[in-house]
Structure 1
Amino acid sequence: MRADVHRLVQEAQALLSPDGETDPATLERTFTLRFHDAVTAAIGPGLLAAVRAQAPGVRLRFLAEAGAETSDLRHGRVDAEIGAAEPALPEIRGEVLGHDALAVAVPPGWRGRSLPARRYAAAEHVIVSRRGRLRDPVDDALEAAGLRRRTVAAAPATDAALALAAATGAVVTLPARIAAPAVARHGMRLLPLPVAAPPVPVILCWHQRFDTDRAHAWLRGLLRERVAAALALPEG
């Protein structure tokens, strides 16, 4: 009920506010954002810095990506999400902000600047899966090339997967630019994925009730800017 009341208050404010641009400096609001942990690490610092500079009365609440589909956007418990999935509900807006290529994070001491497909398949793998899956589309790409890999673990977050891999000599396949800050923190480096795989979309989602909410539109603009900056970085 509290979330519904909050949503109705926001809708009323959007309808009653005068036309014109919102001045971020006057905003007093908390935005709840749900991102994959790699997205939070990649764009969160720049996003928070921009918010602090432009709108000191705005607070950000970062939530971890859910383990299953939720109705939080629909019921106003989350203001915006960034992930790789298109929205399933018609009232949820989905905007593709760009795409990221998959790459392979290799542990410290890994020799070579390239990674043949057979060596990649023979390595031990840690998969990032919030549901604990031990298989993902990379396995299909390998099997199409007549190869199979050995997955030794699944971790729910990028940082956890990289920590496991760095400690054990395993490799992790993940989006190159979005995951680059986390890869660097763990002293690992990225090599090109040696099999063909589709790029990973980066999709911003929000409820249609926020279409005319100028404060929310300002936040979406910042999110677009930060994602574009992250995707413009060189791989690795």
Structure 2
Amino acid sequence: MNDAHDISRLDLNLLVVFDALLRERSVTRAGQTLGITQSAMSHSLARLRVFFDDALFIKSYRGVTPTAKAEALAPDILAIIDSIRNRVLSQAQFDASQAKRTFSLCVTDMGELVFIPPLLSRLKEVAPHCSIHTLQVPPHNMEATLASGEADLVLGSVMNAPEGLYQQELFMHPFVTIASVKNKEIGDTLSLEQFCSMPHVAVMLAGRSLRAYDSVIEDAGIKRHIAFTTPHFLFVPLLLDQHPEFLATVPQSLGTVFARHNLVKVFEPPVALPKFSLRQYWHPRFHQDRAIVWLRGLVKETFSELPEGMR
């Protein structure tokens, strides 16, 4: 083979032929898979043999069998075909039913508990070969994480989101106050007096300028005794179980999940609190990316269909 490293001499369509022959082990069946005649397949195989200076596939009683060189080439050629199908072509079009892709989402631990399960269910229905990876990043790293492609979307309520990011409101989320089922001081309702006199647990997410997630309570003019702060939503019901005298004010969806496990009682806060907006954020660099456009649509659709108590 002359000038074997000159890629311009290789018709990349021949790699598709190689892939089909490797899978089907028959010139006829490979041609049927690709929608071309057996004659065209034979011609393509002849060109492959010239380029690689090897028979590649030899006749056998079952069809064709790859040579040692074909077996050696197979992993690299299959990787090339897979990359073209799932990375290059996905930029021109995105077929969710056939795509093999891992989507990365920035969410809090609350988001993982409440929103990832229904999203995984929808993904299983419409994109069975795709998967989800979650990560957490502080707000000051949010733009860089999205710009690099390390994360495809950020889901949550981000105070002071970086300028220049696209964002879309998914729904408005109310707060609820939760108490341990072991708390015997509270009956079926929670009074303002009880709310103000009992110690509270507050979630203070990293990178939020030391502002509690439920700081709207103080904004409403209510003074409370915050006995403990944590950056972890999922620790709250466990702490309330160990210290039943504590209260916590959390997003409604989280309170619903905790109550479902018979850990807490859920109350409407005894003071009017504004709802907060849960949004998805993405970087302009990937605004037209077909796969990310599809993902944003799936997220919006999934969250729109969540029951009222979950959003």
Q: Which category of TM-score, normalised to the shorter sequence, fits these structures? A: 0.7 to 0.9
Higher relative contact order (CA 8 A, sep 6+): 1
Q: Give the whole-Å Cα distance in 1 for the aligned partners of 2:119 and 2:178.
A: 25
Cα pair 1:33 1:61 within 8 Å, conserved: yes
Q: Percent identity?
A: 21
Residue 225 of structure 1, aligned match among 301, 304, 308? 301
Residue 77 of structure 1, aligned match among 140, 144, 150? 150
C-alpha deviations, 1:67-91, integer Å up to 9, x for none? Answer: 442121122211101111263221x
| Structure 1 residue 154: Cα displacement | 0.9
Cα pair 2:172 2:276 within 8 Å, conserved: yes
Number of matched pairs: 216
| Structure 1 residue 183: Cα displacement | 4.3
Q: Which residue of 1 aligns with 2:5?
A: none
Residue 216 of structure 2, aligned match among 137, 140, 154? 137
Q: Which residue of 2 aligns with 1:188?
A: 264
Runs of 5+ consecutive residues of structure 2 not aligned to the other structure:
1-83
Rg (Cα) greater in structure: 2
C-alpha deviations, 1:48-72, integer Å up to 9, x for none? Answer: 12212322221210113x3442121
Q: Give the whole-Å Cα distance in 2 for the aligned partners of 1:177 and 1:74.
A: 30
1:89 aligns with 2:157: no
Q: Give the whole-Å Cα distance in 2 for the aligned partners of 1:183 and 1:44.
A: 18
C-alpha deviations, 1:77-130, integer Å up to 9, x for none? Answer: 11101111263221x111111111111011113332221111101111101112
| Structure 1 residue 221: Cα displacement | 1.9
Q: Give the whole-Å Cα distance in 1 for the aligned partners of 2:155 and 2:90.
A: 26
Cα pair 1:100 1:200 within 8 Å, conserved: yes
Runs of 5+ consecutive residues of structure 1 not aligned to the other structure:
1-8
Q: Which residue of 2 aligns with 1:55?
A: 127
Q: Give the whole-Å Cα distance in 1 for the aligned partners of 2:91 and 2:173.
A: 40
Distance of aligned partners of 1:179 and 1:115 in 2 relative to their CA distance in 1, 3 Å threshold: closer
Report the structure, 1 or 2, having the larger helix content: 2
Q: Give the whole-Å Cα distance in 1 for the aligned partners of 2:273 and 2:91.
A: 48
Q: Give the whole-Å Cα distance in 2 for the aligned partners of 1:15 and 1:158.
A: 36
1:116 aligns with 2:187: no
SS in 2 for 1:193: coil
Q: Which residue of 2 aligns with 1:3?
A: none
Report the structure, 1 or 2, having the larger strand content: 1
C-alpha deviations, 1:120-162, integer Å up to 9, x for none? Answer: 0111110111239475231232xx2xx5211111111211122
